[in-house]
Structure formats: C-alpha cells, structure tokens
Structure 1
Amino acid sequence: MIETELLPKYSIRKATKDDIPVLVRMRLMLQLHMETVNGRILKHNETWKNGLPRFYSDLVDNSNSLGLLVLDNEKEQAVGMTIGQLIEDRDMEIQRYVKINDVWVEEDYRRKGICSLVVNKLMEFYKERGIKTFTLNYVINNLEAESTWKVLGFEPIIKSCVAKIS
C-alpha cells in the first residue's frame, strides 16, 4: 500500500562507486545522529572517518554486500540508504544471515515510509538468495529506530553496555 504510493516519487537502486561520497556523507550523519540521541555511545576517531571511502569502495565491490540508495525522482538526489552484508559463520546454528550495517533517511524525508521501503527491498534481495535471518544494532534512546525496527519485525535481544572507570 505505502510502497506503491512511494514508488513514482522515489526510486531505489544499487549503490555504485560513484555514490561513495553520498554513502560517506550519510554514514557520518548517521553517526552524528547516534551520538546526539545517546552521548554515551563510543565515538569513532578520524582514522575511521578517513577510512569510510575505502570501506564503501570495498563494500560496493563485494558480492556478499549490498548498498541501496533511495532517490527523490523529482529532485534527482539521494535521500536515504541502507547497507546489508551477508555473514557466514560456521560456528552459529544459523550459519548464513545478513547484518544490516547502516540505514539513513534524510530528516526532511522521514515518516514517509522510505525507511521501510528500502529495508524491505534489501531484505527481499537476500530472501531471494535463501537468507531468512537479519540482524542490526541501534542506539538506545533512538526512539525513531526503535519504533521502525519493531514495525519491520525486529526484536531487541541483546544490550551492549559501556562503563567508564576513573
């Protein structure tokens, strides 16, 4: 229902090498957002930030990963993205699953179904390849993320804790 209404206005396509600056910008915005909603999150350093272009370049070339961009067709600009990575771990009961690494929707485009649209598209891609399990992490106090992931069928099962000892 929402997806068919969104499709004429928005399109989704696989990210390419040409999109690396957009992916980096959106990932940095995601990081800033996470740090804003929860100041206790461990922050990345400049080395990590400087390594993002290489990270996304490797991701775009990796057949086990998928980066998707959401485009506003009228404005001809990227307004959202998601990154999925196939994980193969023979030590796990479910040996093949997808880790959703990054999801970002520009602030002016939120609450329009874009996140659901792009995440569902990512999950469809992997489901067609036999993957049925998807994982992701989000920051505590990110209420938008909490409600979005719940609607999409994700349930929190683990918490990550940080202690600073002086």
Structure 2
Amino acid sequence: MTFDLKDYRAALGSFATGVTIVTALDSVGNGHGLTVNSFASVSLEPALVLWCLGNKSDSYELFATCTAYGVNILSDDQTDLAMRFAGKGDQRLASGEYGKLATGSPILPGTIAAFDAKVVERINAGDHLILIGETQAYQRHDGNGLAYFRGKFGSTAALSGS
C-alpha cells in the first residue's frame, strides 16, 4: 500500500501527545537531549517505558548505544526548551543545566515528571529504533503539561481544570 507521506504524517499529527525531552550521557559524560513525542508506558510490573528514535536523527548513534536515558515530561511553559532540542545539530546540555537520579541520566528542572530508565531492549521497527527502559527512579511535580497537536504546541490546562 502506498501513502502520500506528507498527508499520512498530517493524519498521525491528529493524535494529541505530550512533549518530552529524552536525555542521555555520551561516552565522556556530556548530557544531550532530543525532543520526542513517541513516549509511552509499557508495563507497571516491571516498570517499563519506551520511546522511538528516528534512524536519521543526528543523535542516533548516541541514543542507539546508550545504556540509560531520562524522559523529561515538559510543562506548558517549556515550549522554547522543546524547540531547542527538536532541531538538527548540537543538542548538548550545559553542565549544571540538569540534575541526576539513579542512572546518572540528565534530569531537567521545571518538568512535570521525569523517568530515569535503564535500557533493557532495543527493537528495530521500520525507520525507527524502539528503546524500552526499566524505570530506576522517577519524580512528579504539579503543573500543566505541554501538548502537541497538528503541528502546534498547547497546554493541558483545560484538562486539569486550571
């Protein structure tokens, strides 16, 4: 079956998602981030999460070989941060720009939740790599989340009643 890929992508964009920045450390300990909306919970016991990495990502080698990653769920006032890590090129974090939990993966401040996960499985699927991680630690904070729908950012405020 053949699809008009531009139209197919627009149809997929009709599914509203949250916005995350997935983070990992490179081989010399520098933090890197990548904006991702393909985050999902897999299982509560064990505590598994996943996200999908595009095979053409500038950060592919780093994330495809990392042993752990952080998933930082953005608050609705972090659109600039989402855009910073959505583009091509250098997506390094400055030292002091993040904290750490169990694995040492970068955990960003100001998020509404963060998950620190150890990679337990990698699955090649089409033009993406699925990274399944077992959550080692997490944190949760009050606030509204950043949402993405049909190419635009918004807030989950209407859903939370704030």
TM-score normalised to structure 2 length = 0.27
Bigger fraction of residues in strand:
2
Higher relative contact order (CA 8 A, sep 6+): 2
TM-score normalised to structure 1 length = 0.27
Bigger fraction of residues in helix:
1
